[in-house]
Chains A and B, each alone.
Chain A
Amino acid sequence: MSVIFLLIPLSIVFAVAFLFAFIWSVRSGQYEYTTTPSMRLLLDERTATKPASEPDNSPNPKLK
């Protein structure tokens, strides 16, 4: 039965991992403005076709 002294701290470690996942999700704003992400989900696979004529027209979309 003394294995419980090992299992409890182990369970805490797992739980803390989830707590940090939650903290990360709140910090990244996932609990705010919930309307648009649900619409964006439908768009994910559609990306714009690159225009052939303007090769220069490729800014970094991840500019943040």
Chain B
Amino acid sequence: MTTYPTIAGPERVSATAETRASGCFHCGAACAAEGVRFAGKAFCCLGCRTVFEILSAGGLEQFYQLNEAAGTRPPQAMASNQYCYLDEPGVRARLVDFADATLTRVTFHLPTVHCIACVWLLENLFHLKPGIGQSQVNFARKEAAIAFDPTRVKLSEVATLLASLGYEPKLNLADLDAKPANPAERRLWLQLGVAGFAFGNAMFFAITGYFGLDAFTGPQLKVFIGWLNLLLAVPVVTFSAADYYRSAWRSLRQRLLNIDVPIAAGVVAIFAQSVWEVASGHGEGYFDSLCGLIFFLLCGKLFQQKTFDRLAFDRDYKSFFPLSVTRRRGHAEERVALSQLSAGNHLVLRNGELIPADSKLLSGPALIDYSFVTGESEPVEKRPGDYLYAGGRQLGSSIELEMVKPVSQSYLTSLWNQAAFRKDRSGTLNALTNAYSQRFTKVIIAIALGAAVFWTFVNPGKSLNAFTAVLIVACPCALALAAPFALGTSQRVLGRQKVFLKNPFVLETLAKVDAIVFDKTGTLTAAGAGSVTWHGTPLNEAEERWIYSMTRHSTHPLAVRIGEAIARQHFPEPVRSFLETTGCGIEGSVAGNEIWLGSATWLESRGLVCVARCDEGTAPSESPHIGSMVHVALNGHYRGCYALASALRADAAQLIAKLSVNYELALLSGDNEQEQERFRVLFGPGPHLQFHQSPLDKLGFIKRLQREGKTVMMVGDGLNDAGALKQADVGVAVVESVSAFSPASDIIASAAMVPHLAEVLSYAKQSVATVRAAFLISTVYNVVGVGIAASGNLSPVVCAILMPLSSVSVVAFACGVTAWLGGRLRGGELRVESRSNADSQLSTPRSQPTGGVP
């Protein structure tokens, strides 16, 4: 599963510590020549040195022996009151898991946890600060549960300690919501354990009867075994099978016959019949079959409950919004919880911080990255007085805002008040099995009644017996197991390919999909990965070097991208009189040459003619006039422009071609139409291409398709798609890194898997076909069994053989076929990367927008 870092011996570390000249002893980052030195070791910054000092003072130097340079650089400048808001009673009470007079326990999400040394350090935290008690790390979730004594240490101090060690707690609004109690899985394990225990023992005891062992001991053995098995079956029937009665009762009240109705009826019939047989001395009952039946059913239930620990499928905007923000009062700045903000507050946002509520910009200029909210791939520049929507990220220097609306009423958050977010779709779970069971149950009841009526006339003594025998043998164990095992196996196969399903039954809907809606940004195009091309009079090497030197002085994303693209072996030259005009461009002089880089309007306002429109004569799909243009003038002469394309994902064209055969396709984009031509070529003449779509437009578009009777799959990636993802029958959230935020969805898919969507869809169809085939097999068993039962000849031995045989063979068939199909899927077109590769990427921390990870 997880690749563990090697544990280096102490000797080895001390040897490398002396010889390693360049890497920081704590975090391994390259150190500058004049870097910090302490205790004979090199550090890249004061922060890393401080962590080393804290650890050695606390006797925790072994951290460096567990994994070389395993540390994470702590945040550079941390305000002393950074976490003070955590001590507010309202915030604190909702954040901690447990609190009494002398003990508080809290769980922090620490995104930088990445190796075994982190686990060790965090679990030895009590050495570093008096008052901190036991801590426990959950590596898969990157969480640490920490106990501390609230009279000796404050919650904010615990958070500050973690941050100063490089484990900055990530706190967001969702942390304030009630945490789910113990996983329901614990109860299921207990039910399964009890059923398995009873099944194993009852089967062994019953075998004595089947093999005629009582010939040696006399008839008392049979009676003894009968009562013993009755005793064993009681906890199984009352505890292990309890959920089936509840589900059956709920379904009956809704006038439906789900699969649990015949199961519950069968369990009750078997138990009643067996108790009667044992009590009246007629026989030993069917207790062994009964326990086995429930055991197999619970196995299926456990199998279908596979969840992906590190993924959350139900996240809303609250997991995206931070828990606190900097508020300015007069000249003082304070960190306050988002819940304490109100309209009119003045906020200070630093580089990478998120706008928590719709606000007005007071001091700027601001450069807002709305990519996650609106789908625009380029950041937007704003001036003081402009209105800023919640959800954008500030890039560059810090800005000041005035809140106009409270957090909960902002443009973006109001999306969550839509009906789509309130509907509960759990009723459609396992629709395949339930649809089949509707007919199945009616037929079985008809046969049972028929048999009872028939025997009433022929041999009244056998009438009741035949009725219960039919119910017993028809108990659809194999039927109930087919879908969980087949679809559960498919879910695991897809999970290894980094397509994570919320639950196995998503596949049923996936197989029915006939319309696919794409969001442009992040799904078909990859932001920031496009090519940078030069159009105009060719530049010589010196000229390109000058431009490169200029771009190094700007943090504007376009300048950064141009700089990266033309960097090659250029060494930057000094730039004089550099000036950046927001919204226009940059100017300066390099080696005596005046250089202007900027928008066409800016250059034209200086009397130049920007001729390089560079889109004539080329096919639209190859046209570079897509994305953004940066024009260049040298010494007052126009030279041409850089075109920055937003790149289509690899294989997007093939994917569209493959899908358009069987599916109705559509493209929705929050972006403007400038790329319409290109997508028209890609999609062909038929599909809807809609631009300038607001989150609500997208939701409405999906609804329209559904009203036309389509089963819609939505592929999107941002908060702006959240409504559409939720409204669609299957919502697919595409993520670059699996640990990154994704809006609520049914499927979380790695971006690398998007080109293979067609294969995933056809695999879903094959899996559902497998389930249907398994239904057929189980029906054959039922026909045989019911035949025996209706003739009034069902004996416990037949039952004990038929039931496990049918269950095991159906499960083997379902798992075997889906795994084989999955193997073909992986062996064929889908060889994305090896398994270990995929897993290690999952557990690698990605740098968060705030608090970088070196």
Residues of chain A touching chain B, judged by Cβ–Cβ distance below 8 Å, are 1-2, 4-5, 8, 11-12, 15, 18-19, 22-23, 26-27, 29, 31-33, 35-36, 39-40, 42-43, 46-51, 53-54, 56-64
Contacts and interface: CB of A to CB of B under 8 A. Distances in A.
14 contacts: A1-B216, A8-B224, A11-B201, A18-B197, A35-B1, A39-B4, A42-B4, A46-B66, A46-B120, A53-B57, A54-B57, A59-B133, A61-B134, A63-B147
B4 A35 contact: no
A36 B201 contact: no
Nearest to A40: B119
B417 to A, nearest CB: 34
B186 interface: yes
Contact of A36 (B139, B186, B216, B220): B139
Interface in B668-717: none
Nearest to B7: A42
Given A31-B189, A49-B59, A63-B149, A42 B116 contact: yes
B134 A19 contact: no
B378 interface: no
B727 to A, nearest CB: 33
A18 B133 CA distance: 33
Contacts of B224: 5, 8
A62 B119 contact: no
B138 interface: yes
A57 B153 CA distance: 13
A11 to B, nearest CB: 8
Nearest to A64: B134
Contacts of B444: none
Given A61-B134, A63-B147, A48 B183 contact: no
A40 B127 contact: no
B137 A36 contact: yes
A26 B196 CA distance: 14
A36 to B, nearest CB: 4
A64 B132 CA distance: 11
Contacts of B120: 43, 46
Given A12-B228, A15-B201, A63-B103, A1 B134 contact: no
A29 to B, nearest CB: 8
Contacts of B126: 59, 61
A24 to B, nearest CB: 11
Nearest to B116: A39
Contacts of A58: 130
Contacts of B541: none
Contacts of A8: 205, 224-225, 228
Contacts of B216: 1
Contacts of A50: 59, 127
Contacts of B66: 43, 46
Given A46-B66, A48-B58, 18 more contacts: A4-B208, A5-B221, A12-B228, A23-B193, A26-B186, A32-B186, A33-B140, A33-B141, A35-B2, A35-B140, A43-B123, A48-B124, A49-B62, A51-B58, A53-B57, A61-B126, A63-B103, A63-B149
Interface string B518-552: 00000000000000000000000000000000000
A57 B103 contact: no
Contacts of B59: 48-51
Interface of B: 1-2, 4, 7, 57-62, 66, 103, 116, 119-120, 123-124, 126-127, 129-134, 136-141, 147, 149, 183, 185-186, 189-190, 193-194, 197, 200-201, 205, 208, 216-217, 220-221, 224-225, 228, 309
A43 B536 CA distance: 62
Nearest to A4: B217
Contacts of A62: 133-134
A19 B221 contact: no
A5 B225 CA distance: 10
B499 to A, nearest CB: 21
Contacts of B138: 33, 35-36
A27 B183 CA distance: 11
Given A33-B138, A35-B139, A63-B134, A22 B193 contact: yes
A63 B189 CA distance: 28
A28 to B, nearest CB: 10
B186 A40 contact: no
A15 B132 contact: no
A64 B60 contact: no
Contacts of A39: 2, 4, 116, 119, 139
A61 B133 contact: yes
A13 to B, nearest CB: 11
Given A35-B1, A39-B116, A63-B149, A26 B193 contact: yes
Contacts of A54: 57
- The residue in B120, B132, B216 that gathers the most chain A C-beta atoms within 10 A of its C-beta is B120
A23 B216 CA distance: 37
B147 A31 contact: no
Contacts of B62: 46, 48-49
A47 B217 CA distance: 61
The 4 closest A-B CB pairs, nearest first, are A63-B133, A51-B59, A35-B140, A36-B139
Nearest to A33: B138
B197 A19 contact: yes
A42 B59 CA distance: 19
Contacts of A22: 193, 197
A64 B133 contact: yes
A48 B127 contact: yes
Contacts of B7: 42
Contacts of A33: 138, 140-141, 309
B209 to A, nearest CB: 12
B225 to A, nearest CB: 8
A12 B231 CA distance: 11
A50 to B, nearest CB: 6
Given A22-B193, A51-B58, A59 B132 contact: yes
A35 B842 CA distance: 13
- The residue in A42, A43, A53, A60 that gathers the most chain B C-beta atoms within 10 A of its C-beta is A43
B130 A56 contact: yes
Contacts of A53: 57
A43 B133 contact: no
A48 B60 contact: yes
B124 A57 contact: no
Contacts of B149: 59, 63
B186 A27 contact: yes
A12 B201 contact: yes
A18 to B, nearest CB: 8
A15 to B, nearest CB: 6
A62 B136 CA distance: 11
Nearest to B221: A4
A23 B7 CA distance: 35
B169 to A, nearest CB: 18
- The residue in A11, A15, A36, A51 that gathers the most chain B C-beta atoms within 10 A of its C-beta is A36
Contacts of B58: 48, 51, 57
A49 B132 CA distance: 17
A54 B116 CA distance: 27
B398 to A, nearest CB: 38
A46 B138 CA distance: 19
A31 B4 contact: no
A59 B131 CA distance: 6
Given A8-B205, A8-B228, A19 B193 contact: yes
Contacts of A19: 193-194, 197
A23 B61 CA distance: 40
Nearest to B187: A26
- The residue in B66, B127, B190, B200 that gathers the most chain A C-beta atoms within 10 A of its C-beta is B127
A61 B133 CA distance: 5
Contact of A1 (B61, B119, B133, B217): B217
Nearest to B65: A46
Nearest to A47: B124
A4 B221 CA distance: 9
Contacts of B200: 15
Nearest to A59: B126
A12 to B, nearest CB: 7
Contact of B189 (A26, A35, A40, A51): A26
